[in-house]
Amino acid sequence: YRTTPDGKLLEGNAALAQILGHTNREALLRSTAVDYYVDPADRERWKEMIATEGEIREFEMALRRADQSVIWVRDSARAIRDRKGNVEFYEGVLYDITQRKQAEWAAKQATQQLTQSVAVLERRNHEMDLVKEMGKYLQSCPTAERAYLVVEHWAAKLFPGRAGAVFVISASRNLVDAVATWGNPTLGEHTFRPDDCWAYRASGGPHVVEDPRSPMVCAHLTEPLKGQALCVPMIAQGEWMGILHLQGGDDGFDASGTRESVAASERLAVNVAEHIAQVLANVKLRETLRTQSIRDPLTGLFNRRYMEESLDRELPRAERKGHTIGVVMIDLDHFNQFNNTFGHQAGDALLQAFGELLRQRVRAEDIACRYGGEEFTLILPEAPFDVAIARAEALRQEVKELRVTLRGQSLGVVTASMGVAAFPIHGRSAESVLRAADDALYRAKAEGRDRVVAWDGLAGAHAVKINRD
């Protein structure tokens, strides 16, 4: 081609006409070079380069063809000057490189997609490693409380920059409590009814709120949200365990903000929720089995096995610290006669009522056990002998105030006999202290029942009787 300095086409072959979208050379020559530039700045750069260097080699640019489609070309041109040095015209060769450009773009896009895919894969592998690590620690938790601490720690790693909380349904299944939080979430309510959460009320799947002003914000989020919110139900073996709640900033739950990345974050949240739910279900099962193994099913008190294990643990501790341990053996007076008179249901009602009285009167560190039948044992860590005696006497008085009814019928006055001993005063082993307390109980029953007898270790087989009212 040849053009004037202002861009008017002077010559151009048929190939150039075809490249620029003309059916013949005549139409081509009626146009100017300026008509084809997509970016006018390319024309200015072209003129500047040819003015300073006298020629252009392989200058790449986008042109708009006559049919308005865009192509990419490579231009090599030079300035032809007259004898005075003035530019007479430009001449050059234009190559259509659209296919090459498209191939380059496709390769570049493929590389970018591959890089993104590798990054996503690495991120997911990292997340799965974190989930596995969290799961390892969760599985080793002996109690739900320990599991909540593990969740707080690992959730902050799994959802960086995102606040959140785990809510667990109560035993009564009418309330949900926040048991773990991270990132200072805007919760409003830490305890709420399950149906205040759309994830519970709806289909049981994740509930996403993208607009904080939406009417679909869960009722338990009473404080204004700063961004998106996500509630994921925690379900294990078909049982609803609670909610995993996440809060995002204006960019959503993922820093990139793309639909794919947000969906990936939701999938991660569902995966984490499933792990937490399964672990909580396992912990609940272990606690249930543990309770069944150490609790008396009728009274809810600890059983004899647990009492013996506790003494084996508490006695060495008391010896190291120089403390005493009070031991009270208790027998409900005339229980067999009570059973024969009122029936076994009445006997069970009495045992349950006495078990409840014991639970209400013991300290957190005390151990109240059903020793067997109508006999009970009360272990009082760090209780001096005289304090153990006084507490036994107070309990005896309260037993007399106990009123047991069955089907509206009062079952009469109940009394109890008690024997008191202490470690290490009356024995340096669990067996010897229990025997001393049991001997004191035997003396209390032999002397007429409804009394407390304290074992006198100095008097050998004798016992010291506490005055009755």
Q: Answer yes or no: are the C-beta atoms of 307 and 369 closer than 8 Å.
A: yes
Say whether the peptide bond before residue 424 is cis (omega within 30 degrees of 0). Answer: yes
Distance CA 256, CA 273 (A): 23
Residue with tokens 């040819």: 50
Output b/e per residue, 82-93; b: 16+ Cβ within 10 A. eeeeeeebbebe
Task: Provide the 10 A C-beta neighbour count for residue 373.
Answer: 12
| Rg of the chain taking only CA atoms, in angstroms | 43
Catalytic residue among 374, 401, 431, 447: 374
Q: Answer yes or no: are the C-beta atoms of 339 and 348 closer than 8 Å.
A: no
Question: Which one-letter DSSP state was computed for residue 59?
Answer: E
Q: Answer yes or no: are the C-beta atoms of 447 and 465 closer than 8 Å.
A: yes
Please give the span between the terminal C-alpha atoms of the chain, in angstroms, as a whole number.
Answer: 127
Q: Which three-class secondary structure state does DSSP give residue 401?
A: coil
Whole-angstrom CA distances from 462 to 456, 457, 468 are 6, 8, 18
Query: Which parts of 327-467 fold into alpha helices (H)?
Result: 335-342, 344-361, 385-400, 430-446
| Phi and psi angles of residue 172, each rounded to the nearest 5 degrees, phi first | -75, -15
Consecutive H or E run containing 284: helix 259-294
Task: Provide the 10 A C-beta neighbour count for residue 223.
Answer: 10
374 is catalytic: yes
Nearest to 161 by CA among 182, 189, 181, 187: 182
The number of CA neighbours under 13 Å toward the Cβ of 452 is 23
Q: Answer yes or no: are the C-beta atoms of 205 and 199 closer than 8 Å.
A: yes
The number of CA neighbours under 13 Å toward the Cβ of 58 is 1
| Phi and psi angles of residue 207, each rounded to the nearest 5 degrees, phi first | -120, 120
Question: Which one-letter DSSP state was computed for residue 383?
Answer: -
**Parallel, antiparallel, or unpaired for β 416-423 and 452-455?**
parallel
Percent helix / strand / coil, the chain, rounded to 5:
45, 25, 30
Distance CA 347, CA 341 (A): 10
Residues with a catalytic annotation lie at: 374
